[in-house]
Amino acid sequence: MKPQSRRSKTRKRRSRRFKVDPTCWGKNKPLEQLWRDLSSYLSAVIIYKGSRPYEIIELHHSDPPSSEHVYSQFRSYDSNPDVVAILTAHPDAKNEYEALLYPKAKDKSVDYVISNYTKFFKRAPEHMQHHLTKHPLKKVMIPH
């Protein structure tokens, strides 16, 4: 029998999927409120370079809020060189808080989650933005 080399060993991949935990609601109220505002397009978080770390902005939208209208507001921030990232969430993904954000954040503060946004958010791929806008934005980030 031929001895196995290191390369021929099969490696187990760690799953990145999180279990949906519906019992997470009510455990971190400030983070839940931020999530509700982000996922309903009521607000977004703008991350800046330098001394001013971030700003939570209210989005002005038509009734009902449309993704196209929200992305048109994001366009001015996307072209601003002082803006590093735009944190938002898509309203279509209902379980993102339960499956993606809460399992990582647990009892962390909203300030911690926003300050360490790279642990909780990733760049929105262009293929996810094509149905919303003709020119995808480079700084939009969604939970991962």
Among 122, 85, 83, residue whose Cα is nearest residue 101: 122
Residue 134 within a domain: yes
Beta bridge partners of 56: 45
5 domain-assigned: no
Which structural domain range is residue 137 located in?
Answer: 24-143
pLDDT for position 121: 94
pLDDT band at 67 (very low <50, low <70, confident <90, very high): confident
User: What is the structure's pLDDT at 5?
Assistant: 61
Q: Give the model confidence (pLDDT) of 129-141 as tens digits.
A: 765 667 788 999 9
Is 19 within a domain?
no
* Total domain count, the chain: 1
The predicted model scores a pTM of: 0.80
Is residue 42 in a domain?
yes
* Reported confidence tier of residue 64, pLDDT bands at 50, 70, 90: low
Is residue 102 a part of any domain in this protein?
Answer: yes
Evaluate if residue 1 carries a pLDDT over 90.
no
